Amino acid sequence: MTDRQDSSKSTDRIDLNDKAACESWAKKLNVTHEQMREAVGAVGDSASDVELHLKGVRSTSNDERVEKALRSGDGSSSDKPR
């Protein structure tokens, strides 16, 4: 593996044992160290997987909104034309 591949691979991973790297990732992802540790525990140390997991934790997907509407009973939406 070349040096370029090596450094690219290491920047795609979050090493929780590297304090400086953890601080950098926490700042980049705008999360606390605890949130980052939870995310790494949930999805592994891939930076892109951690980022997607954290975004999912902070937002509600359309599927979740649809499921919530269906559970509420009427399944109707004010966005539907009548």
What is the pTM assigned to this prediction? 0.57
pLDDT over 80 (residue 21): yes
Average pLDDT rounded to a whole number, residues 16-30: 93
| pLDDT value for 16 | 95
Give CA–CA dist 11/6, Å, rounded.
9
Average pLDDT rounded to a whole number, residues 32-44: 93
Give CA–CA dist 77/13, Å, rounded.
42
| pLDDT value for 55 | 87
Number of other residues whose CB lies within 10 A of the CB of residue 43: 16
